[in-house]
Copies of this chain bind each other. A is one copy, B any other.
Amino acid sequence: MTLSSALLDHAVDQLATLPGIGRRTAMRLALELLRREPQEVARFTEAIRRMRDELRRCSRCCNISDEEQCAICRDPRRDAGLICVVEDIRDVIAIEATRQFNGLYHVLGGVISPMEGIGPDELNAAELFDRVRQESIAPNEARVKEVVLALGGTLEGDTTAFYLNRRLNEMGVLVTTIARGISVGSNLDQADEATLGRSIVDRKPYEQLMKR
Protein backbone atom coordinates (compact mmCIF):
# COMPACT_ATOMS: atom_id res chain seq x y z
CA MET A 1 0.00 0.00 0.00
CA THR A 2 1.77 3.12 -1.16
CA LEU A 3 0.05 6.43 -0.59
CA SER A 4 0.27 9.65 -2.52
CA SER A 5 1.97 11.26 0.48
CA ALA A 6 5.42 10.36 1.79
CA LEU A 7 4.62 12.13 5.08
CA LEU A 8 1.51 10.03 5.69
CA ASP A 9 3.26 6.93 4.42
CA HIS A 10 6.08 7.41 6.89
CA ALA A 11 3.76 8.04 9.85
CA VAL A 12 1.75 4.91 8.98
CA ASP A 13 4.99 2.91 8.75
CA GLN A 14 5.99 4.07 12.21
CA LEU A 15 2.59 3.42 13.77
CA ALA A 16 2.61 -0.07 12.23
CA THR A 17 5.81 -0.91 14.15
CA LEU A 18 3.72 -1.05 17.35
CA PRO A 19 2.76 -4.55 18.51
CA GLY A 20 -0.72 -5.63 17.38
CA ILE A 21 -1.09 -2.67 14.98
CA GLY A 22 -1.28 -3.71 11.33
CA ARG A 23 -1.05 -1.31 8.40
CA ARG A 24 -4.82 -0.94 8.12
CA THR A 25 -5.16 0.05 11.80
CA ALA A 26 -2.09 2.28 11.52
CA MET A 27 -3.78 4.10 8.65
CA ARG A 28 -6.93 4.60 10.73
CA LEU A 29 -4.86 5.99 13.61
CA ALA A 30 -2.89 8.30 11.29
CA LEU A 31 -6.09 9.69 9.76
CA GLU A 32 -7.52 10.24 13.24
CA LEU A 33 -4.35 12.13 14.27
CA LEU A 34 -4.60 14.18 11.06
CA ARG A 35 -8.09 15.30 12.03
CA ARG A 36 -6.82 16.75 15.33
CA GLU A 37 -5.44 20.20 15.99
CA PRO A 38 -1.64 20.46 15.61
CA GLN A 39 -1.21 21.41 19.30
CA GLU A 40 -3.18 18.32 20.29
CA VAL A 41 -0.91 16.09 18.21
CA ALA A 42 2.11 17.89 19.68
CA ARG A 43 0.86 17.01 23.17
CA PHE A 44 0.52 13.40 22.04
CA THR A 45 4.04 13.10 20.62
CA GLU A 46 5.59 15.09 23.50
CA ALA A 47 4.09 12.75 26.11
CA ILE A 48 5.67 9.76 24.36
CA ARG A 49 9.03 11.44 23.78
CA ARG A 50 9.29 12.69 27.36
CA MET A 51 8.33 9.28 28.75
CA ARG A 52 11.17 7.67 26.80
CA ASP A 53 13.76 10.38 27.44
CA GLU A 54 13.03 11.21 31.07
CA LEU A 55 11.88 7.97 32.69
CA ARG A 56 14.57 6.36 34.84
CA ARG A 57 14.94 3.08 36.65
CA CYS A 58 14.25 3.29 40.39
CA SER A 59 17.62 2.84 42.10
CA ARG A 60 16.02 0.65 44.76
CA CYS A 61 13.45 -1.62 43.10
CA CYS A 62 14.28 -1.30 39.35
CA ASN A 63 10.71 -0.16 38.65
CA ILE A 64 10.38 2.74 36.24
CA SER A 65 10.52 6.06 38.00
CA ASP A 66 10.33 9.81 37.40
CA GLU A 67 12.95 10.41 40.11
CA GLU A 68 15.94 8.69 41.71
CA GLN A 69 13.52 6.42 43.59
CA CYS A 70 9.98 5.54 42.47
CA ALA A 71 6.85 6.81 44.25
CA ILE A 72 6.25 3.42 45.92
CA CYS A 73 9.78 3.18 47.35
CA ARG A 74 9.56 6.80 48.55
CA ASP A 75 6.24 6.27 50.34
CA PRO A 76 7.01 6.09 54.11
CA ARG A 77 3.69 4.35 54.85
CA ARG A 78 4.77 1.23 52.99
CA ASP A 79 6.39 -1.72 54.74
CA ALA A 80 10.03 -1.78 53.63
CA GLY A 81 10.50 -5.17 55.31
CA LEU A 82 8.39 -6.90 52.66
CA ILE A 83 9.53 -7.18 49.03
CA CYS A 84 7.35 -8.54 46.24
CA VAL A 85 9.35 -9.81 43.27
CA VAL A 86 7.60 -9.43 39.90
CA GLU A 87 8.49 -9.87 36.25
CA ASP A 88 7.63 -6.40 34.97
CA ILE A 89 5.85 -3.16 35.70
CA ARG A 90 2.48 -4.48 34.51
CA ASP A 91 2.55 -6.90 37.44
CA VAL A 92 3.20 -4.00 39.81
CA ILE A 93 0.15 -2.22 38.41
CA ALA A 94 -1.99 -5.37 38.68
CA ILE A 95 -0.99 -6.00 42.31
CA GLU A 96 -1.41 -2.34 43.25
CA ALA A 97 -4.94 -2.46 41.83
CA THR A 98 -5.86 -5.21 44.35
CA ARG A 99 -4.93 -2.91 47.31
CA GLN A 100 -3.86 -6.06 49.16
CA PHE A 101 -0.12 -5.42 49.28
CA ASN A 102 1.57 -2.74 51.34
CA GLY A 103 5.24 -3.65 50.91
CA LEU A 104 7.76 -2.65 48.25
CA TYR A 105 8.50 -4.30 44.91
CA HIS A 106 11.45 -5.58 43.00
CA VAL A 107 11.06 -5.62 39.24
CA LEU A 108 13.13 -8.41 37.65
CA GLY A 109 12.65 -7.21 34.09
CA GLY A 110 11.87 -10.72 32.84
CA VAL A 111 12.13 -14.38 33.83
CA ILE A 112 14.86 -16.96 33.34
CA SER A 113 14.43 -18.51 29.89
CA PRO A 114 17.29 -20.69 28.58
CA MET A 115 15.44 -20.92 25.25
CA GLU A 116 15.68 -17.16 24.77
CA GLY A 117 19.14 -16.94 26.30
CA ILE A 118 17.91 -15.10 29.40
CA GLY A 119 19.76 -16.07 32.56
CA PRO A 120 19.92 -14.38 35.99
CA ASP A 121 22.58 -11.96 34.65
CA GLU A 122 20.10 -10.56 32.13
CA LEU A 123 17.62 -9.83 34.94
CA ASN A 124 17.76 -7.46 37.92
CA ALA A 125 18.54 -10.41 40.20
CA ALA A 126 21.91 -9.18 41.49
CA GLU A 127 20.18 -5.92 42.47
CA LEU A 128 17.66 -7.94 44.49
CA PHE A 129 20.37 -9.89 46.31
CA ASP A 130 22.36 -6.69 47.05
CA ARG A 131 19.21 -5.09 48.35
CA VAL A 132 18.30 -7.97 50.66
CA ARG A 133 21.92 -8.18 51.87
CA GLN A 134 22.27 -4.42 52.50
CA GLU A 135 18.87 -4.00 54.06
CA SER A 136 19.46 -6.94 56.42
CA ILE A 137 22.07 -4.83 58.23
CA ALA A 138 19.68 -1.84 58.28
CA PRO A 139 17.74 -0.62 61.35
CA ASN A 140 15.00 -3.01 62.35
CA GLU A 141 11.98 -1.49 60.56
CA ALA A 142 13.83 -1.30 57.22
CA ARG A 143 15.23 -4.84 57.47
CA VAL A 144 13.88 -7.24 54.80
CA LYS A 145 11.91 -9.95 56.57
CA GLU A 146 10.06 -11.56 53.70
CA VAL A 147 10.37 -11.82 49.92
CA VAL A 148 7.16 -12.75 48.10
CA LEU A 149 7.75 -14.33 44.69
CA ALA A 150 4.85 -13.21 42.47
CA LEU A 151 5.90 -14.80 39.19
CA GLY A 152 3.76 -16.31 36.44
CA GLY A 153 2.80 -19.98 36.67
CA THR A 154 4.81 -20.87 33.56
CA LEU A 155 7.88 -23.09 33.27
CA GLU A 156 10.05 -19.96 33.11
CA GLY A 157 8.31 -18.44 36.14
CA ASP A 158 8.81 -21.65 38.12
CA THR A 159 12.48 -21.88 37.10
CA THR A 160 13.05 -18.28 38.18
CA ALA A 161 11.28 -18.85 41.49
CA PHE A 162 13.37 -21.99 42.13
CA TYR A 163 16.61 -20.08 41.51
CA LEU A 164 15.65 -17.01 43.57
CA ASN A 165 14.40 -19.14 46.47
CA ARG A 166 17.71 -21.01 46.69
CA ARG A 167 19.79 -17.83 46.69
CA LEU A 168 17.54 -15.91 49.09
CA ASN A 169 17.38 -18.84 51.51
CA GLU A 170 21.16 -18.67 51.85
CA MET A 171 20.67 -15.08 53.07
CA GLY A 172 18.32 -16.25 55.78
CA VAL A 173 15.25 -14.36 54.54
CA LEU A 174 11.74 -15.86 54.49
CA VAL A 175 10.70 -16.62 50.92
CA THR A 176 7.00 -17.06 50.09
CA THR A 177 5.11 -17.39 46.80
CA ILE A 178 1.65 -16.20 45.85
CA ALA A 179 -1.10 -18.84 46.13
CA ARG A 180 -2.17 -20.82 43.08
CA GLY A 181 -5.71 -22.11 43.04
CA ILE A 182 -9.22 -21.83 41.67
CA SER A 183 -10.06 -18.31 40.43
CA VAL A 184 -12.53 -16.39 42.57
CA GLY A 185 -15.96 -16.74 40.96
CA SER A 186 -15.14 -19.73 38.74
CA ASN A 187 -16.40 -23.29 38.88
CA LEU A 188 -14.17 -26.30 39.57
CA ASP A 189 -14.85 -27.90 36.19
CA GLN A 190 -13.44 -24.83 34.42
CA ALA A 191 -10.05 -25.16 36.13
CA ASP A 192 -7.20 -27.18 34.65
CA GLU A 193 -6.02 -30.32 36.46
CA ALA A 194 -2.76 -28.83 37.73
CA THR A 195 -4.47 -25.82 39.28
CA LEU A 196 -7.24 -27.92 40.83
CA GLY A 197 -4.67 -30.38 42.20
CA ARG A 198 -2.63 -27.54 43.66
CA SER A 199 -5.71 -26.01 45.28
CA ILE A 200 -6.43 -29.29 47.09
CA VAL A 201 -2.84 -29.81 48.25
CA ASP A 202 -2.68 -26.19 49.45
CA ARG A 203 -6.05 -26.29 51.25
CA LYS A 204 -6.35 -24.16 54.36
CA PRO A 205 -8.57 -24.01 57.47
CA TYR A 206 -11.95 -22.49 56.66
CA GLU A 207 -11.72 -20.36 59.82
CA GLN A 208 -8.59 -18.71 58.41
CA LEU A 209 -10.49 -17.63 55.28
CA MET A 210 -13.25 -16.09 57.38
CA LYS A 211 -10.87 -14.01 59.46
CA ARG A 212 -9.84 -11.79 56.53
User: Which chain A residues have a beta carbon within 8 Å of chain B's beta carbons?
Assistant: 1, 3-8, 10-11, 13-15, 17-21, 25, 27-34, 36, 38, 41-55, 63-66, 70-72, 88-90, 92-93, 96-97
Check A55–B34 contact: CB distance below 8 A.
Answer: yes
A8: chain B residues at CB < 8 Å are 51, 55, 64, 89
Q: A29 vs B48: C-alpha distance in the bound complex, in angstroms?
A: 10
Count of this chain's copies in the oligomeric assembly: 2
User: Given known contacts A1-B97, A8-B55, A30-B48, what 17 new A-B pairs fall within 8 Å (CB)?
Assistant: A1-B93, A3-B93, A4-B64, A4-B96, A7-B55, A10-B51, A14-B44, A14-B47, A19-B28, A20-B25, A20-B28, A30-B51, A31-B88, A33-B48, A33-B52, A38-B53, A45-B49
Shortest Cβ distance from A74 into chain B, in angstroms? Answer: 9
Cα A92 to Cα B81 in complex, Å, equals 62
Interface of A is mostly: helix
Least Cβ–Cβ distance between A64 and chain B, in angstroms: 5
For A64, the closest partner residue in chain B by CB is B5
Closest Cβ–Cβ distance, residue A111 to chain B (whole Å): 16
In the bound complex, do residue B44 and residue A5 qualify as a contact, i.e. CB atoms below 8 Å apart? no
Q: Which residues of B contact A20 (CB under 8 A)?
A: 25, 28
B5 touches A70 (CB 8 A): yes
Most buried by B among A6, A13, A19, A51: A51
Give the CA-CA distance A50 to B89 in the complex, in Å.
32
